[in-house]
Structure 1
Amino acid sequence: MNLQFLTTFFGGFLRSRRVAHHFRRLALFESLGEPGPSRAMPEHLTHDLKRAARDDVAAVLVRLHSHEDGLTSPEAEERLKRFGPNEVDHEKPLPAWLHLWHSYRNPFNLLLTVLAVISYLTEDIKATLVIGTMVILSTLIRFVQERRSNQAAEALKAMVSTTATVVRRDLAAAASETSAQYFNVQLHSRPPAKMEVPLRDLVPGEIVALSAGDMIPADCRILSAKDLFISQAAMTGESLPVEKFAERRGHTESPLDLTNIAFMGTNVVSGAATAVVLETGNRTYFGTLAARVTAAGPAVTAFQAGVNQVSWLLIRFALVMVPIVLLVNGVTKHDWMEAFLFALSVAVGLTPEMLPMIVTSTLAKGAVLLSRRKVIVKRLDAIQNFGAMNVLCTDKTGTLTQDKIVLERHTDVLGHGSDDVLKHAYLNSYFQTGLKNLLDRAVLEHAELQKELMPVRDYRKVDEIPFDFQRRRMSVVVSEREDHNELICKGAVEEILSVCTRVQVKGEVLPLDDALLAQVRQVTHDLNEEGLRVVAVAMKETPPGLATYGVADERDLTLVGYIAFLDPPKESTAPALQALAAHGVTVKVLTGDNELVTAKICREVGLAIEGVLLGPEVEKMDAAALARAVETHNVFARLSPLHKERLVHALRANGHIVGFMGDGINDAPALRAADIGISVDSAVDIAKEAADIILLERSLMVLEQGVIEGRRTFCNMLKYIRMTASSNFGNVFSVLVASAFLPFLPMLPLQLLVQNLLYDISQIAIPFDRVDDELVAKPLKWNPGDIGRFMVFFGPISSIFDITTFLVMWFAFGADTVGKQSLFQSGWFVVGLLTQTLIVHMIRTPKLPFVESRAAAPLLVMTGLVMAIGVFLPMGALAGYFKLQVLPPAYFPWMVGIVLGYALLTTAMKRVYIRRFGWQ
């Protein structure tokens, strides 16, 4: 199947899910089978990278015709026209003519074409026209539907924004003046003006700002770096991040070991940097490798493997049964050419030639419907996992709670209000250049800032120690009136306390003894009990001459106080949790926050706490203990990114289909580990890159609606597969019985083909069918084994009524000679088409069809129209063309009775099947 849009990727530079799959699971060079990175690349590319690493910054900027303060906007626009978009464009839509060819070239159409050629060579023009019509319709329907699906997928991808932060020198002056006026702070060094641009618009020579959570948008030379650690696992398979610097350190033959070069597709784990873009798009290291990786073809997902299993089950069945049909008819009729044509016609009837189109259109329609519910599907085959998900792991902030954190209190060490704490927190949040989270925004937007910080002037940033998830704190160093430097540190309470030796109480600095430590912990505990998230603030003065600081300088600090934030629960959270539980989805909270705040929020949203497990406890557990713990606990707090990933792996190992919802860099490992990664449009780049589903609204209610829509999509697809398998299985039995005992063919090859063509047309509306609420109430799993059982159980039922039709036509209407075979064939043509089409309504629901559950209007219209055509075709002007004849009036009561009997027996057997095997 041409499902290229199933494997497309968001994010501009990561357009290919095929590449992403390789990057997620293994080292790229292992997948290429190369002995080393340098050998995997063209010589000119490695030469250029090494030259850029070797030259000084000025030389690199001159060669790129760039400037340390960035390009101007007109320069960037001109370069975009010259170099093209920053995209790895292996997944461009196929040209129409090539897409048309791909729509045609499947085994089913090739088989039909062979049959058409044989019919033409044997001068059976009528059969040639009918078979040709089937090929053309099958190809065009698939071409048009996939073309529309591709366009819809491209439109959906455009809804998810991914940007890079660039420096533009023509905007610097205006931005600096506006910033200084707004914050009433005199900034001695003019900060460069930054703006967000789409990744695809990035050009060589652009100056980009990087911070924790950012994807590296192109191949870049580092200009300045502060504690910059980059994960290159996507390129090399190394699990640990590597540190990058502004200068080259050491000598290496491998481009990936260059210490001052950052590569497209990697991501910033911690720290901050500025860099100049060297190459974009296909000219990058990533782009060159991606072309080689994608040449190997996409990895088959579990969903695609399931569809393939069903397809090959039917094809193998045809390969076994068609030769038997050929032998039986050849031996009994003594006309081997006619027997051969009939056997080929049976083969056509057995092959699910509409399966690719039905699967494609059903998934595409599901994705469009999900988009209307503010759920963007990056990989269409992820819809199956969406419907199968039975455990949802989610963070607390922004999911259970509102996405707007408010600075509620700023207190000293003993819990009394303190403007001095607010001032220090403000300076820390404003001057940091790393990942500004919701807490920083809440500090900067606090209503009292402008009034209270009026006296704060003449501050200049000296240095910064960026945040990382091991330290869980970050520091900035500022100079006040060039008199002294202040290192201001904020972060998690325990992590701040670990580097503090003193506390500031009412303006007096005291040693942090056991008594004061107990008081500190009690104050923060009380704030947590109120549902407030507490961040500690500490500082120390340092000599004015020191310009460079590192993690080692975060020691001997003085605890100043705390800033406490309120993140109230969303009104929609409680009903959403109830709805998810009603639909068989268990919600587990995985958060880095402390257990007190998390427990209070869970109580407020009505999530019963079955057990709380902390990160340090997870650390000590072996695999067996953790496997038991994830089943008995539903709240996990104080987690690191690796703890989250390990919990997701443990749940999957227990047999759960796990969804993980997150938006931060710390969520990326768990997003990749989950069966279905769910993120939001406002997430950091690495989280969106790792996700399969993007929510345009950060709400569990939206997610619940998406789960239900995903299940509806899966159910509709399952209808066609079940119907095709069971109907084809029954037809073979009928053909074998008729061929063994009749002196003529039960149906001419042309008639079989017309019947199959009409039947295929009736199935086009299946993607638009409605689904019973009961079928989407619980998670749905892909189970190819169930298809085989369903086929064997229901297939022979139609054969009973086919044989009944044979007996009626033989005995009641005297169609028992070769001269009367046309009457016999006309009678079975009508009954066969009616039962084959009616099976859709019988098996689309476990309920009583047409009474308890009615199909959607498009399916009713299409099946009704096809059944009407089938009844009137032998009666109309085209009857002679297809070698059919008018059926006598007495035939129709028999026809109604046979079809009604078929419907009643199928309904009765459906009850038996449901009692024994259930109904998914």
Structure 2
Amino acid sequence: MLKNITRQLFARLNRHLPRRLVQRDVLPEANNLAAVAIPPSLSEQCLKIATLQERDLWQTFNSHPEGLNPSEVDAARETHGENQLPAEQPSPWWVHLWICYRNPFNLLLTVLGIVSYATEDLFAAGVIGLMVGISTLLNFIQEARSTKAADALKAMVSNTATVLRVINEKGESSWVELPIDRLVPGDVVKLAAGDMIPADLRVIQARDLFVAQASLTGESLPVEKVAHSRDGQQTNPLECDTLCFMGTNVVSGTAQALVVATGGNTWFGQLAGRVSEQAAEPNAFQKGIGRVSMLLIRFMLVMTPLVLLINGYTKGDWWEAALFALSVAVGLTPEMLPMIVTSTLARGAVKLSKQKVIVKHLDAIQNFGAMDILCTDKTGTLTQDKIVLETHTDISGKASDRVLHSAWLNSHYQTGLKNLLDTAVLEGVDEEAARGLSARWQKIDEIPFDFERRRMSVVVAEQADVHQLICKGALQEILNVCAHVRHNGDIVPLDEGMLRRVKRVTDTLNRQGLRVVAVATKYLPARQGDYQRIDESDLILEGYIAFLDPPKETTAPALKALKASGITVKILTGDSELVAAKVCQEVGLNAGEVVTGSEIDALSDDELARLAQCTTLFARLTPLHKERIVTLLKREGHVVGFMGDGINDAPALRAADIGISVDGAVDIAREAADIILLEKSLMVLEEGVIEGRRTFANMLKYIKMTASSNFGNVFSVLVASAFLPFLPMLPLHLLIQNLLYDVSQVALPFDNVDDEQIQKPQRWNPADLGRFMIFFGPISSIFDILTFCLMWWVFHANTPESQTLFQSGWFVVGLLSQTLIVHMIRTRRLPFIQSRAAWPLMLMTLLVMIAGIALPFSPLASYLQLQALPLSYFPWLIAILAGYMTLTQLVKGFYSRRYGWQ
């Protein structure tokens, strides 16, 4: 039952939100995918497409090298639909309404309502029906609103693809950026490093194209894709070297490809449709609320039979006892939990969006608030992400136009993943010089960048018989393939003396906070055919280009705010340790002992886990280093967030409890993230964390209130049932009381949160909830028993003939105390004075209290089997409520001093 509750609840929470294409929670492990049946026709179709000649491809998909025109696009979309996975298709409203109804809490209440109707207790059946209707409709309305908000948020961060389309009646074509759901079979798309594969594709042009297929095949290494197959006897579509599949991503290289399948017709879509019924591994939020639900359900299953046995034995009327026990079960059913959770998370997501934080998955909000370690890159987070070319020098540190012009040719002619460094280089050469360079040098070929080599090359020619390879990249990776240096115009060997000179100059630049990129060249005889990575050898080191990326003004205060909020910041960067340490010093972050990637390689997991907890700065890291650090920090019990925007950050983003990226990130980083920042700033992130904690705090309030109130009420019922000659309250009264209490909780997601509740990371802790129930539940029982004594001895409601007066007195006290507990438990402070609830919650609780007092005096009183209370009852009522609030406040002080107040 618990699994059904949790699964249904969170399936609804996330149903309308943008999902990761590289799924962690929809598809099973990649190495288990072989067990999922794919239609033979799909495999045969893929194998056929993989071997088609380019001319046949255009005919098969009614396309052209210049792309589709608008009418062809409309026809293809009408035939194939939107490029969306089946799980992303919105449900009709009646299906959505049914899903909102069918949670186990509502089903349990429905059974109780049917039993009441069968026993001709029509009013009880009506009240139960009203409770179910309110819960379902509120959930339906709130989810519809959250869906609308989610769609708006999704549109703000949706991934795009570069598509070739005919743009006018003259048949002229142009590359345009379109949302991936607008792609249709027959479209021609352009791919580069960092791009998600937006649909199933057949490659028609490729240049060193490597694709990561781990999400489908489990292969740890990228595989190369080509335009013309190297193996004509392939039998497994996933191994076809001319096909790319939705859900994978480009690691390096460039390509043009033809869309051959979209949406549910893709390989990924077929897999998703066949495994959607399999239970996904619950995340931290789902596990937490699952444990809480289990606690409440166990409590209900234990207490309801006890109420039945005690009342049946003491009163002798087992049928009446059974109805009363069923009403107690209704009272213990947290039927508003789905609505409260959904509305609180949805409201939190909308508020976060106003602070430039887009939540892709609602349940990520809790992890956002629980985060106690934030791992982040340096560039663009601590720094301004506005890189300026500061200097261009030869190996001795003297300014060199030759180095600048070589770097410009490399950045200008490369077609892969252009970054801010390339932009800075292109802007560092004036327009006249740039025109001269592009006119003199023609591009021959390129060797794209990847994170294994950490360099990229272009091949250019000024003369027909000579080619020049220009390589630009990280200093050490360039030195690894250099055999000579250009020193004072001469080419000399790269010996130990020259290496010391190089290190001295580059270290000086690094200590100034400059990021150093090396430039090397090589002259080759002109030749036909592609250039390969092996050609990056025996290069001549020309010099360096150095970039300045100054720290943001907001970084230092943001780091202080994060520290004050209980979040430890760790820097995981691929940059030089000298540059990173300089930036950390400028923003007031104590870097301490720096750990580099080469040192990490020599450490075991246990050694690295211990080191990671006390180290602030990690430098010269590869993507796998980042992922390993994040994973080990999680293993040590931390809730880890990772913030990154590059293709090299994707593994760590997936490994983290909360992946954080930015709107300008590469596709794969945005898809792997749970949270998207519209502004790459730690200050924005800190504000988002605080909002996440507010959202979690309001959710926790309802669970605390419900748990403690239910425990106290049932304890009071057990005591009264054992000693009274009649029922302490009729089943009808319990139902009305529960209905009114639930109505008062509708406004809880809009409540204020005290500052001290958002100063530290917050986590689910069912053990704390159980202790909270034991401490605060019996408080209401104490005053319930005092009310029993009051009605029995002061107002002499001590016979079956006067039970209506007794029940009316306890009904009012029970409802008012249950409503007041909302204000008592929502804050550690003194309620109404030091901490006031938001006006919607104040208004709802006031209306419910007025209704509770008015019911015994209303025309409905006789029908509800209540009676007007004497005026002398109300001073006692005030005294009981005042005593209840005072004792609760005293216990709050003791409890918070000993156990804290989350």
Same structural fold, with TM-score higher than 0.5 when normalized by the shorter chain = yes
Compare 542-551 and 707-716 and name the one that shifted more: 542-551
Alignment of 1:96 onto 2:93 = yes
Whether 1:235 and 2:216 are equivalent positions in the alignment is yes
Cross-structure match for 1:37: none
Aligned twin of 1:178? none
How far did residue 71 of structure 1 move? 3.3
Backbone CA RMSD of aligned residues: 2.0
User: Could you say which residue in structure 2 is the equivalent of 1:46?
Assistant: 43
Structure 2 residue 237 is the aligned partner of structure 1 residue 255:
yes
- Equivalent AA in structure 1 for residue 478 of structure 2: I
Deviation of 1:96 (Å):
1.4
Distance (Å, rounded) in 2 between the aligned partners of 1:816 and 1:801: 18
- Report if aligned partners of 1:611, 1:632 keep a CA contact under 8 Å in 2: no
| Deviation (angstroms), 1:643 | 0.6
User: Taking structure 1 as reference, are residues 443 and 9 closer, same or farther at Cα in structure 2, changes over 3 Å only?
Assistant: farther
Q: Tell me: CA distance 1:236–1:667, structure 2 relative to 1, closer, same or farther (3 Å).
A: same
Q: Does 1:83 pair with 2:80?
A: yes
CA contact (8 A) 1:9 1:15 kept: no
Secondary structure in 2 matching 1:428? helix
1:164 aligns with 2:152: no
1:108 aligns with: 105
> Percent of aligned positions with the same letter in both sequences?
61
C-alpha deviations, 1:862-920, integer Å up to 9, x for none?
11111111111112222122111110011001111111111111111112212322221
1:636 is displaced (CA, Å) by 0.5
Residue 698 of structure 1: how far off its partner (Å): 0.4
Aligned partner letter, 1:21: D
Instruction: Check if 1:198 corresponds to 2:179.
Output: yes
- Please give the alpha-carbon distance, in whole angstroms, between the structure 1 residues aligned to 2:750 and 2:107: 28
For 1:424-503, list aligned pairs within 5 A: 424-446=406-428, 448-451=430-433, 453-454=435-436, 456-503=438-485
1:30 equivalent to 2:41? Answer no
Q: Where does the alignment leave 5 or more consecutive residues of structure 2 unmatched? A: 1-7
Alignment of 1:649-664 (within 5 A): 649-664=631-646
Q: Distance in 2 between matches of 1:316 and 1:611?
A: 50
Asked whether the 8 Å contact 2:26–2:276 carries over to 1, the reply is: no
Write out aligned runs for 1:514-553 (5 A).
514-553=496-535
> Whole-Å Cα distance in 1 between the matches of residues 354 and 777 of structure 2?
38
Deviation at 1:649, TM superposition (A): 1.4
- Residue 181 of structure 1 aligns with which residue? none
Could you tell me how far 1:162 is from its partner in structure 2? Answer: 0.7
Of 716, 738, 747, the residue aligned with 2:698 is 716
Q: For residues 231-310 of structure 1, what are the structure 2 equivalents within 5 Å? A: 231-250=212-231, 251-310=233-292
Identify the range of structure 1 (906-915 vs 361-370) with the bigger mean alpha-carbon deviation.
906-915
Residues of 2 paired with 1:117 and 1:643: CA distance? 59
The 1:808/1:703 distance shift into structure 2, 3 A limit, reads: same
* Partner residue of 2:396 out of 387, 411, 414: 414
- Aligned partner of 1:151 in structure 2 is 148
The match for 1:741 is 723
Deviation per residue, 1:203-245 (Å, 9 max, x gap): 2122222121111111111122222221111001121222222
Q: Distance in 1 between matches of 2:304 and 2:813?
A: 22
d(CA) in 1 for partners of 2:437, 2:280: 61
Give the aligned residue type for 1:807: C
Instruction: Work out whether 1:834 is the aligned partner of 2:816.
Output: yes
Choose 234-243 or 658-667, whichever is displaced more: 234-243
Deviations 1:291-323 (A, max 9, x none): 011122443222122222222322222222222
Is this contact kept in 2: 1:321–1:732, CA < 8 A? yes
- What is the distance in 1 between the residues matched to 2:676 and 2:423? 23
Displacement after TM superposition at 1:285 (Å):
0.7
Post-superposition shift, 1:72?
Answer: 4.1
- Whole-Å separation in 2 of the counterparts to 1:253 and 1:451: 53
- Amino acid paired to 2:115: I
CA distance in 2, matches of 1:404, 1:173: 40
Deviation at 1:287, TM superposition (A): 0.7
Measure the CA separation in 1 of the matches of 2:166 and 2:297. 64
> Out of 688, 691, 708, which is 1:726 matched to?
708
Residue type of the alignment partner of 2:619: A
Question: Which residue matches 1:180?
Answer: none
In the alignment, the residues of structure 2 paired with residue 402 and residue 174 of structure 1 have an alpha-carbon distance, to the nearest angstrom, of 43
Mapping 1:583-662, distance limit 5 Å:
583-662=565-644
Correspondences of 1:169-180 after superposition (within 5 Å): none
Q: Write the distance in 1 (CA, Å) between the matches of 2:476 and 2:809.
A: 84
Partner in structure 2 of residue 179 of structure 1: none
**SS of the residue 2:469 aligns to:** strand
SS of the equivalent of 2:695 reads helix
Count of residues paired in the alignment: 894
SS at match of 1:314: helix
Question: Is there any run of 5+ residues in structure 1 with no aligned partner, and where?
Answer: 35-39, 176-191
Quick one: structure 1 residues 73 and 483, their matched pair in 2 at CA, closer, same or farther if it must change by over 3 Å?
farther
CA distance, structure 1, for counterparts of residue 236 and residue 563 of structure 2 = 52
Matched, 1:207 2:188: yes
Match for residue 132 of structure 2? Answer: 135
Equivalent position to 1:7, from 9, 14, 25: 14
The answer to whether residue 774 in structure 2 is matched with residue 792 in structure 1 is yes
Amino acid across the alignment from 2:177: E
CA distance in 2, matches of 1:477, 1:10: 45
CA contact (8 A) 2:85 2:264 kept: yes
Structure 1 equivalent of residue 841 of structure 2:
859
Aligned mate of 1:899, from 865, 870, 881: 881
Q: What's the CA shift string for 1:170-201, capped at 9, x where partnerless? A: 689999xxxxxxxxxxxxxxxx9533221111
Superposed CA offset, 1:499-529 (max 9, x none): 1122223433233233222222222111111
In 2, distance between residues paired with 1:353 and 1:378? 26
Amino acid at match of 1:26: E
> Using the alignment, how far apart are the partners of 1:46 and 1:752 within structure 2?
61
Q: Deviations over 1:448-505 (max 9, x none)?
A: 2444543541432211111111111000111224342111110011111121122223
Q: Residues 754 and 827 of structure 2 are in contact (CA less than 8 Å); yes or no, is this contact kept in structure 1?
A: yes
| CA offset digits 1:542-600 (Å, max 9, x no partner) | 11233311011011111222111111111111110010001000111000000111111
Distance in 2 (alpha carbons) for counterparts of 1:565 and 1:582: 33
| 1:221 maps onto 2:181 in alignment | no
Q: TM-score by structure 1 length?
A: 0.94
SS of residue in 1 equivalent to 2:436? coil
User: Corresponding residue for 1:185?
Assistant: none
Aligned to 2:295: 313
- Cα deviation code 1:346-385 (max 9, x no counterpart): 1111111111111111111111111111111111111111
Structure-1 separation of matches of 2:171 and 2:548: 35
**Cα pair distance change 1:447/1:571, threshold 3 Å:** farther
Matched, 1:761 2:743: yes
Q: Kindly indicate whether the alpha-carbon contact (under 8 Å) linking 2:658 and 2:675 is maintained by their aligned counterparts in 1.
A: yes
Secondary structure of 1:159 counterpart: helix
CA shift in 2, pair 1:683/1:10, >3 Å: farther
Q: Distance in 2 between matches of 1:2 and 1:83?
A: 32
- Secondary structure of the corresponding residue to residue 470 of structure 2: strand
Q: Secondary structure at the match of 2:542?
A: strand
Q: Matches of 1:173 and 1:566 in 2, distance apart?
A: 47
SS in 2 for 1:21: coil
Kindly indicate whether the alpha-carbon contact (under 8 Å) linking 2:559 and 2:569 is maintained by their aligned counterparts in 1: yes
CA–CA distance in structure 1, aligned partners of residues 858 and 383 of structure 2: 67
Distance 1:320 1:103 in 2: 27
Deviation at 1:680, TM superposition (A): 0.5
Q: Deviations over 1:417-446 (max 9, x none)?
A: 222222211111111111111111112233
1:346 corresponds in structure 2 to 328
- Residues 496-505 or 658-667, more deviating: 496-505
Structure 2 length-normalised TM: 0.96
What SS does the aligned partner of 1:467 have? strand
